Structure 1
Amino acid sequence: MAAMPNETRRGHGGPDNSGRLGGPLLFAGTAMMLSGPLSILMGASGIAEDNLFAASQYAYRFDLTAWGWIHIFVGLALVIAGLGVVSNKSWGRGAGLVAAGISLITQFMFVPYYPLWAIPVMTLDVLIIFALTRFRVGDNGGT
């Protein structure tokens, strides 16, 4: 029987319904599980009031302990969302987008404290958001 023009064979641009995780989603989940623990470690340093951080007066100035708790909560959200994405849960992508977006905003606000840390983590957050938004309906993240 001849294939209809709107049908595609598996492996040739059609959706992959095998339950396997494709490239962009696998990258996003793995990157969140990397970025999350890094944020948790940054938060622990902030709570310990490490002398690594120094910032002059600026609009988003918080106590280091407050920044520490913010980074810990964001890091935990990233790890949980990353696990959701990697285990192909339906809520994983949405939670990942929210967690990565909040992480991006908090890292931007944290730049005056430690730019050598915040800017690379912001880059990672942008890549996570990009990878999560490449997902197509009916596709498991494959390209």
Structure 2
Amino acid sequence: MAGRVQMWIGGTIAGVAAAVLAVHLAVAGLEAADKWASVLSLFVGLAGLGVALAGLQRNRQENSKQSVEDSGIDGNLSMVSGTGGNVSITRRLRSRRPAGGAPTVPIPPAGAPSAPNSGQTVRKVTTSGDVSMVQDTGENVDIKEVP
């Protein structure tokens, strides 16, 4: 279902529920209406808490995505995220000449800030060297080049 259709259906259901509730509370009287309002507010609060927790979980899942798209990397690609421990990456030392005249993508300096909520995405990038993207390891990162 499209988001617009879901919005209309949800809005209609909420409107009908509010109208039915208003009629019921008007017929039941002030004393009963006060009791019903207390109970309903409890359930609305619990539903709001559930929606907030689901949103946090979804946000966490979206932030942990890694992808490589339309790239021509003539080297090694290492993408590491959320290990909670030490990371060791070993790769072969190679010539740094561009393959087929492809441009080399500059590597940001060490300690450069990353984009907020980066999902470690490499998109439409042509590089002739190695690409290592490491995020949220919690410990040391060791990148070795061997002959």
Same fold (TM over 0.5): no
Q: What TM-score comes out, normalization by structure 2 length?
A: 0.24
Q: What TM-score comes out, normalization by structure 1 length?
A: 0.25
Would you tell me which structure has more strand in proportion to its own residues?
Answer: 2
Structure with higher Rg: it is: 2
Tell me: higher relative CO, structure 1 or 2? Use CA pairs within 8 A at least 6 residues apart.
1
Would you tell me which structure has more helix in proportion to its own residues?
Answer: 1
